[in-house]
A and B are shown apart, each in its own frame.
Chain A
Amino acid sequence: MNALNIAYKDLMMLLKDRGQLITLFLVPIGFILAFSAAFAAGQELEAQVIAVPVVNLDPGGEMSTLLLQQLNDDRGLQTEDYDQAQAAADLSDETIKLVLTIPSGFSADVQAGKQTTLRLAYGPAASDSEVQAVRLVVDGIASDLSLETQLVGGLSQMGAMMGDAPAEVRVFTAERIATQAESQFERAKTTPLVALSAKWPDQITQGREDFNPSSFGVAGFAIMFAFLSAQTTAASIFEERKEGTFRRLLAAPLGKWELLAGKMLPNFFLAILQMVIIVAASLVLLPLVGQQAPTLGNSPLGLALVTILVALCSTSLGILLGALCRTESQVGGISSVFLWIAGMVGGAFIPAFVLGDFLNAIGKVVPHYWAMQAYNDLMLRGGGVGDILLELGVLAGFAAVFFAIGLRRLRFA
């Protein structure tokens, strides 16, 4: 009962604090709109089509036709037919940057289960990222083809890809290989093709097909701001200590637990409300500004569980910050910076798979990462509660640890 009295009092104080309300509710929505606009602009850039000259020595073949069709289906690539001599000439005088060669008998070989080689030759004019992009797409499609047809093959080792390039070009590209992705290439020489091509395309296709930037952005910001609101709890504990009202509360016939619960309740509900409002506003507002609405997946229960655990985690973090912070600037600025960084490395802004292995590994120490994984599983990949048990467990663990340390460190008087 007294917990409710305290919670009610805190809410009343919060409602009088306009700045706090704006931070809690309007700022996140503004961020989402800005972010999705920026992301859409980024996507347009990315949508620039890379022209891929193709020398098809297996014209009319079933598999080569399928391959070309799939290459063109990919939004980023556009194949153009070239004749072999012309392609070699254009490549050496740099009028084209790269050439993909489909060997004669490609369809027959693939269908017969024989190893066959697609050759990607490129000249000095090709940028690393173009080569990489084409290589990844071809890899992916080729491996899909081979998987589909239950055949080994498709692409050969990367070294072999160089076969058709003019000698002077070859030297140049060899350097490039060395600096660019040596280890990948080394592995390509020794590892069976399917294994190699299955590695890269998986991520690319997952990234491309499932990536709804709105869902990602909305989940990320919901998490980011839910955790930032831990500062509300921390600040109110700090304030009570500073103003001495804690002394009054402690002199009152009131349990420590009631006091703590009273401090936690408002933030817990606010964090939930905040996340609900962020998602609801995104569903309504993003389509209005011409952006994709987020997809919510198909597990309301899963979403509810993650949201509740994120709110709980943020609230306990608030207790912890409130217990540890000794100055106003620790409560405000310093924990802000800390929480933003946690959001960054936790993948709340940038997809974890883009951050790279190192940051990804670091990200796992912050609850944001696990919350993000859980939301992604639910919203992007359509998973259910069963798919996020680990994440739920880890979030609950974070909440328990934050709370336990906070309780220990909180000096009441």
Chain B
Amino acid sequence: MSEPILISQDLKKSFGEIEAVKGISLQVARGEVFGLLGPNGAGKTTTISMLTGLLEPSGGQITVDGLDLKSHTNEVKAKMGLVPQEMALYMSLSARQNLMFFGRIYGLKGKELRQRVDEVLEMTGLTDRADDPVGDYSGGMKRRVNIGAGLLHKPQLLFLDEPTVGVDPQSRNAIFESVEALNRAGMSVIYTTHYMEEAQRLCQRVAIVDEGRIIAQDTPTALIRSLGGGVVLLGVSASAPEDLAERIAQVPAVKSATRSDTYPAGSTGGQLKIETQRLQEALMQTLDITNQLDVRITSLEILEPNLESVFLHLTGKKLRQ
């Protein structure tokens, strides 16, 4: 395997008292779409800010394409493209003016610049509206310009920070397709999101981030397989016996059963999180026990094995409420 395009070692960042990133190490292979998954405030944007050189890390090291970011800052920055989480565009300028400006900043000029701008406008489907002020665009169109502006200089490594937030399903699909097309053309991508299905579709490998740490890092399939089976969330009334979780855990098909009182918020009873490799069997045996003990079931939720349940398994938290 060739040398990774990006290596980060023990990256840390504190904002005063807040330790936003507590030591993140990851490697992104060339030509890979790498996902950074995590809930709000996990430290994804902070990590990306450090990786793209706009935030000084409190500790750790970043190497891009074999060059140290700190000592070769501008050289490294030229290899990377950033699509910020927010719409980072000049709203009073047109899409073309925005793209021309950001292209120039990355050193493009003359005919090459105009050509790239035209290509990107074409790719984002904005050729017709290219000369209208961006402020007049719809949210989805702005998103597309926002992405286009990060692509002009054909970066080797593209960072996309939650590019689909607030986007309708159709535009979202268009964004997926362009990411896939760019990736086929050889671009490495770091993609942050808190939508697990996006990561599952796009990313060859994902790192799951929570509270400033990577808690798992692998291919989506491997992560799901490690969990196996599925997860059952079983809501029970307050009258359920204390040792219900332990009893259910005895069931052969059940891998683990734990009581989590945090979900769902406001419920009077408790909630059991039951993990299993054999979903159907485990579910039936569990219900046998609750029937025997005359426990009233208040809710039942089955999580198909996916990255969402991996996250739940690892953190005891749902990604989104």
Residues of A within 8 A of B (CB): 2, 5-6, 9, 12-13, 16-17, 243-245, 247-255, 412-413
Contacts and interface: CB of A to CB of B under 8 A. Distances in A.
Contacts of B311: none
Interface in B46-87: 49, 52-55, 73-75, 77-78, 80, 82, 84-87
21 contacts: A9-B90, A12-B93, A13-B90, A243-B86, A243-B88, A243-B90, A244-B85, A245-B89, A247-B86, A248-B84, A248-B88, A248-B149, A249-B105, A251-B77, A252-B77, A252-B106, A253-B77, A253-B106, A254-B74, A254-B77, A413-B49
B104 interface: yes
Contacts of A412: 54
B92 interface: yes
B110 interface: no
B137 interface: no
Contacts of A244: 84-88
B51 to A, nearest CB: 10
Contact of A248 (B91, B102, B104, B107): B102
B105 A243 contact: no
B97 A12 contact: yes
A251 B79 CA distance: 11
Contacts of B82: 247-248, 251
A12 B53 CA distance: 28
A252 B90 CA distance: 16
Contacts of A254: 74, 77, 105
Contacts of B150: 248
A254 to B, nearest CB: 6
B78 A247 contact: no
Q: Which 8 A-B residue pairings sit nearest by Cβ, starting from the closest?
A: A250-B54, A244-B88, A253-B74, A244-B86, A251-B82, A253-B77, A253-B78, A251-B52
Contacts of B86: 243-244, 247
A413 to B, nearest CB: 5
Given A251-B77, A253-B75, A5 B93 contact: no
Interface residues of B, number: 32
Nearest to A13: B92
A252 B78 CA distance: 7
A243 B80 contact: no
B176 interface: no
A17 B101 contact: no
Given A247-B49, A253-B77, A413 B87 contact: no
A2 to B, nearest CB: 6
Nearest to B97: A12
Given A13-B92, A248-B82, A243 B87 contact: yes
A413 B54 contact: yes
B101 A9 contact: yes
A226 to B, nearest CB: 24
Contacts of B78: 253
Contacts of B73: 253
B91 A243 contact: yes
A47 B84 CA distance: 67
A12 B54 CA distance: 26
Given A9-B101, A251-B77, A252-B77, A245 B54 contact: no
Contacts of A245: 88-90
Contacts of A12: 93, 97
B256 to A, nearest CB: 42
A243 B54 contact: no
Contacts of A255: 74
Nearest to A248: B88
A247 B54 contact: yes
Contact of B101 (A5, A250, A253): A5
Given A2-B105, A5-B105, A9-B101, A247 B93 contact: no
Nearest to A242: B86
A206 B80 CA distance: 66
B84 A247 contact: yes
Contacts of A6: 105
Given A9-B101, A12-B97, A251 B53 contact: yes
Contacts of A250: 53-54
Nearest to A250: B54
Contact of A243 (B55, B85, B89): B89
B89 A5 contact: no
Contacts of B105: 2, 5-6, 249, 252, 254
Contacts of A13: 90, 92-93
Contact of A253 (B84, B87, B107, B149): B107
Interface string B140-154: 000000000110000
Nearest to A9: B101
Residue of B49, B87, B88 with most partner-chain A CB within 10 A: B88
Interface core residue of A6, A9, A252 (most chain B CB under 10 Å): A252
Nearest to B50: A413
Nearest to B107: A253
Nearest to B80: A251
Contacts of A249: 105
A9 B89 CA distance: 12
B13 to A, nearest CB: 11
Nearest to B83: A248
Contacts of B101: 5, 9
A9 B96 CA distance: 12
A17 B106 CA distance: 26
A412 B53 CA distance: 12
A256 B77 CA distance: 13
Nearest to A239: B90
